[in-house]
Chains A and B, each alone.
Chain A
Amino acid sequence: MSGAYAFINDEKQNLSSFRDNLPNGSGARTKFDQLNPAISPFSIVLPGQLIVVGDDSTRMCTPEDNLLASYARDVRQSLIATDHASARVLIQNYDVLQSIMSYGSIGIGSVTSAWSAHLSQVESTLKDINDAYQRWRAGSLTKDQFVARRQTLFNVLDGQLRGIGRWGTGLKNNSTIKKMLGISSKRFLLTGEVANYARNVKRINNVARTLSGGTAIGVALDVSAGLMEIGEACSAGREQQCTKAKFVEVGKMMVGIPTSVTIGGIGAKAAVSMCFRMAGPSRGASLVVCGIAGGATGGWLGGAGGSKVGEHFSNWLYELVDDE
């Protein structure tokens, strides 16, 4: 095979023998190393990592080689945040997951990005609470001003952590926010720091940062899933099958991804509207959570349905071109 292709490593292993047996000798090995910089001859490759094998008709990296290498990098970065056991589950259930991820991942991915924004808001409120304590200690706030400011911030945090809004924050559901944050005014005056503050902020920040690339990873997964389907069809060496796969996969992406975004927005609006009628405005942050959940459902439905429509559309287009 001359074209570039990629495969998913299915178990923890060293790929040096695979690398050594590549056709075209040292040129292919050098190119393999270039396209897979994270894999050295002695390193262990984790399950789930995307391995790129370059176009063996040239020593130069083709645009397709580079594109696959960038997807591999994205996948690797997202796997770094995943432990070995989770990565293994992912691979063992790849077929099932693929049906969810392919053409629906943009919807799910955009939700992880949105959730990241929600967690950043929680982090910001925690920082404001800490800031209020610091200002009180420094004497720039009177006791009454401090108590009023703290109460306002606690109300904001209470709304942000209501229901599933707590997910990813690692904050336990205690009877009061003071207990949850481990805040004690007396201890603060002695030690000068809010207990657990740094730990909570760091944890929330880590989760938010991990989730923030959701949309990009979602799009990368969608596109790489399509490219793999094309690669699989083209590797069989049947010109017609290869051309048809290109039409179908591009059509699925072209309709699936935009539909996922549009229907995700409609799902978010429907969910927020429903939550508004049920919960009322006092639960402001819960509405954000409702919007994210509705966006996820809409995005997934839109992505899955849109890719089916796109498949039909591109099949029709292929037959039209093929007849001419």
Chain B
Amino acid sequence: MNDDLLGGVVIVSGVISLVSFCVDVYVKYFILPEIEERLKNCRVVIDAKRCWDNSGFVGRRYRLVAVNLALTSTELMRQQDMVDINEVKSISDHQRRWICIPERVALTAFIAGISALALLGKLW
């Protein structure tokens, strides 16, 4: 494959990683509290908030993981009685996008960047 193309993929991946991080910080500080407020009867969210509430940025990471699980693995969580299905349904598509899309974009960019580096022979 063309080295320039692969190099371009790595550069785009790096830029996307930086943008994703900025979006991630925004989501953790502005979107997460809003959604937690709406999922106040979901055990998975309550437990995470109780456990990580005073742990700063690192704590928000784990609280976001709990919210993400409630929104993306709802059926599994419902079977274990960890979420209130009505509350999960009340979350708007707009808020769901903030939680789910940045993570997927970051993961895709990371995998693409690493794969391109490996194909270029620069990973090791």
Please report A residues at the B interface, Cβ cutoff 8 Å.
110, 113-114, 116-118, 121, 215, 251, 254-255, 258-259, 261-266, 268-269, 272-273, 276-277, 280-281, 284, 288, 291-292, 295, 302, 305-306, 308-310, 312-313, 316
Contacts and interface: CB of A to CB of B under 8 A. Distances in A.
16 contacts: A117-B54, A117-B55, A258-B17, A258-B21, A261-B24, A262-B106, A263-B107, A263-B110, A265-B65, A266-B106, A269-B65, A273-B73, A306-B17, A308-B114, A312-B117, A313-B10
Contacts, number: 123
Interface string B27-42: 0000000000000000
B114 A305 contact: yes
Interface in B64-105: 64-66, 68-69, 73, 76-77, 80-82, 103
Interface size class of B (residues with CB under 8 A): 35 or more
Nearest to A263: B110
Nearest to B59: A117
Nearest to B24: A262
A309 B116 CA distance: 9
Nearest to B21: A258
B61 A312 contact: no
Contact of A265 (B76, B103, B117, B122): B103
Contacts of A255: 14, 17-18
Contacts of A266: 103, 106-107
Given A281-B82, A312-B117, 19 more contacts: A110-B61, A113-B55, A114-B52, A114-B62, A116-B55, A215-B57, A251-B14, A261-B24, A262-B106, A262-B110, A281-B80, A288-B62, A291-B62, A295-B61, A305-B113, A305-B117, A312-B10, A312-B14, A313-B11
Which 9 A-B residue pairings sit nearest by Cβ, starting from the closest?
A258-B21, A313-B14, A281-B80, A117-B55, A309-B113, A269-B65, A262-B106, A113-B58, A312-B10
A283 B104 CA distance: 28
Nearest to A116: B55
Contact of B58 (A110, A280, A288, A316): A110
Given A117-B55, A305-B114, A312 B122 contact: yes
A57 B73 CA distance: 60
